[in-house]
């Protein structure tokens, strides 16, 4: 499907130019270059804009896709991490935050806590208490909504190789502010 190819290309470019290129995640380059990241496009079975559609049904479909990604990670140790790329059904940031909370709960219910962890990115990402236009939001902004499923073991191993990993978020905020929101908007618009 042509649309999937365009979305995958956009996400790969975002990962390469912003996440890796701006060093927002110092651990992303190796799995990216090793091709051990799975990029999976999720399409809701039901159109959210139809009257019969509900956020609950969409939530259940998406949580099922997250569990399937975890099962795929269980069954393939060559996969380092998975980016579940969501369709436009999750463009509302508040709905997306409900999904993130439910994703954490489903990890608990499926006994995946401690094995996998969920990170998230969204086109309208906004840190609590921060202006929507603040440059620091671009540390978590992406061209489309994305659920990132990471192996806890890989995170622990990666953190051991970095001095003062707790300083990464502060460094990212300072770097984003130095570059400015316009810089990131231009890159995202080009994607």
pLDDT single digits (tens) 112-135: 999 999 999 999 999 999 999 999
Evaluate if residue 159 carries a pLDDT over 90.
Answer: no
pLDDT at 149 over 60: yes
* CB of 118 closer than 8 Å to CB of 149: yes
Q: How many helices (H) and strands (E) does the chain have?
A: 7, 4
* Confidence check: pLDDT of 29 > 50: yes
pLDDT-based confidence at residue 93 (cuts at 50, 70, 90): very high
For residue 2, pLDDT over 70 is answered with no
Average pLDDT score over the chain: 92
3-state secondary structure of 30: helix
- Domain residue ranges in the chain: 2-190
Three-state DSSP state, 129: coil
Residue 118 has what pLDDT?
A: 97
């Amino acid at each position: 499907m042509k649309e999937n190819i365009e979305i995958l290309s956009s996400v790969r470019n975002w990962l390469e130019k912003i996440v890796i290129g701006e060093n927002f995640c110092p651990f992303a380059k190796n799995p990216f270059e090793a091709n051990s990241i799975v990029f999976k496009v999720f399409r809701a079975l039901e159109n959210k804009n139809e009257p019969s559609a509900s956020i609950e049904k969409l939530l259940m479909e998406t949580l099922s896709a997250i569990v399937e990604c975890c099962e795929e990670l269980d069954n393939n140790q060559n996969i380092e991490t998975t980016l579940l790329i969501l369709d436009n059904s999750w463009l509302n940031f508040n709905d997306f935050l409900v999904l993130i909370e439910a994703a954490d709960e489903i990890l608990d219910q499926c006994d995946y806590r401690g094995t996998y962890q969920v990170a998230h990115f969204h086109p309208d990402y906004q840190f609590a208490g921060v202006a929507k236009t603040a440059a620091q939001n671009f540390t978590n902004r992406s061209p489309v909504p994305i659920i990132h499923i990471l192996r806890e073991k890989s995170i622990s191993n990666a953190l051991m190789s970095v001095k003062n990993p707790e300083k990464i978020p502060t460094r990212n905020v300072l770097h984003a502010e130095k570059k400015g929101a316009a810089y990131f908007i231009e890159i995202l618009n080009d994607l």
